[in-house]
Amino acid sequence: MSDAVLSRLRAAGLMLPEPSRPAANYVPYTRAEPLLFISGQTPVLRGEPQYLGVVGEDVSIEQAQAAARLCALNILAQVHAALDGDLDRVRCLRLGGFVRCRPDFIRQPLVLNGASDLILLALGENGRHARTAVGTNALPRGVPVEVEAVFTVG
C-alpha cells in the first residue's frame, strides 16, 4: 500500500485527525461499490468545534476557509477509516458544502475553496471534483461550515 496522500499532507505540515463519531442516528460513511459517501463533516478537532459563528459577522472569510480545510481533513480521516488506511485508491467526485451566513452573504464558493484546495493538495489530480456551495442560517453546534463528499474507490 502506497502512502502518497499521507506524504503530501505531511509535506504540507498536516496530519489526519481522529475520525469523528456520529452525533446522531447516522453512520460516518457508507459504501455502494465503487462509491464511498462521507457524511457531512464539521470543523471539529479532538472532539471540539472550531471557528464558531456566522461567516461575515463573527468569522472572517479566512477563518471560514480554515474551517472548510479542517472539514476536508475530517473527510479524509473518514475515508482513511473506511478503507483501512488506503487513501491512494480514491478519487473525489463531489464536495457539497454549507456555509452558515447572513442572507445577503454571497461568497460561499470562496469559503468552500478551503476544502477544495485541501482535497486537491492531498489527492493530486484525483482530487478534482464537482462542488456545491450553499448558504444556510444554522449548522450543528454553531460551526460556520459543513462539508460532505462522494468518492469513487478503485
Per the structure, the count of domains in the chain is: 1
Regarding beta strands 44-45 and 48-49, do their DSSP bridges make them parallel or antiparallel, or are they unpaired? antiparallel
Cell numbers given for 11:
509535506
Nearest of 23, 4, 3 to residue 74 by alpha carbon: 23
Q: Residue 23's pLDDT is what?
A: 83
**Segments of 10-144 assigned E as strands:** 29-32, 35-41, 44-45, 48-49, 90-100, 130-136
**CA–CA gap between residue 6 and residue 129 (Å, rounded):** 19
pLDDT digits (tens, 9 = 90+) for 90-113: 999 999 999 999 999 999 999 999
**CA–CA gap between residue 48 and residue 62 (Å, rounded):** 20
pLDDT digits (tens, 9 = 90+) for 10-48: 999 999 999 998 888 999 999 999 999 999 999 999 999
Domain membership flag for residue 39: yes
Domain membership flag for residue 154: no
Q: Residue 12's pLDDT is what?
A: 97
**Which CATH number does the domain housing residue 51 bear?**
3.30.1330.40
Q: Please report where in the chains the cell 469523528 appears, as a residue.
A: 20
pLDDT digits (tens, 9 = 90+) for 53-87: 999 999 999 999 999 999 999 999 999 999 999 99
Q: What is the pTM of this model?
A: 0.96
Q: Residue 1's pLDDT is what?
A: 43
Q: Residue 2's pLDDT is what?
A: 57
Nearest of 149, 151, 15, 23 to residue 83 by alpha carbon: 151
Residue numbers of the domain that contains 58:
4-147
Domain membership flag for residue 153: no
Domain membership flag for residue 84: yes
Domain membership flag for residue 18: yes
Domain membership flag for residue 10: yes
Whole-Å CA distances, 112 to 2, 21, 26, 69, 84: 28, 23, 24, 8, 27
